[in-house]
Structures are given as C-alpha cells and as structure tokens.
C-alpha cells in the first residue's frame, strides 16, 4: 500500500468516527430535550458539507486509480 492510500484510509475512518459521534450526540441530546428545528437543520447541513466533498474526493481518487 502506498502512503497516500494509507492516509486516505485513516482519513475515512476518522470522518466516519466523527459522524457517528455527532449522530450519537444529537440522539442523546434529542432524548434529553426536544431538539430545535434549527439544530437539526444545522446538523444535516454539516453532514452534507462533510460527507459531500469527501465522497466526491473518494470517487475521484478511485476513478483516477482505475483509469491510470
């Protein structure tokens, strides 16, 4: 494995862990008190901003790897 591939694996694991922690935190907070619509909206927006570019980057890297 190249260093870049190892780095990508580490980054993907960290991103997944962060998302899981965020989701879990929101669920716990939501159980303790009714979540505000704004908080939920911010939560989904943050997920889109984190996951969107990351997924695009991953697919781009995989396509480069396939065709080169």
pLDDT at 57 > cutoff 60 = yes
Q: Running DSSP on this structure, what letter comes out for residue 35?
A: P
Nearest one of 8, 1, 18 to 60, comparing CA atoms: 8
pTM for the predicted model, two decimal places: 0.43
CB 11 within 8 A of CB 57: no
Q: What percent of the chain has pLDDT over 90?
A: 0
Give the three-class secondary structure for 2. coil
- What pLDDT does 1 receive? 63
């Amino acid at each position: 494995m190249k260093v870049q591939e190892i780095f990508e694996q580490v980054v993907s694991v960290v991103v997944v862990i962060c998302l899981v922690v965020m989701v879990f935190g929101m669920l716990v907070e939501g159980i303790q008190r009714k979540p505000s619509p704004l908080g939920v909206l911010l939560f989904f927006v943050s997920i889109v901003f984190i996951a969107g570019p990351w997924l695009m980057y991953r697919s781009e890297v995989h396509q480069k790897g396939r065709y080169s």
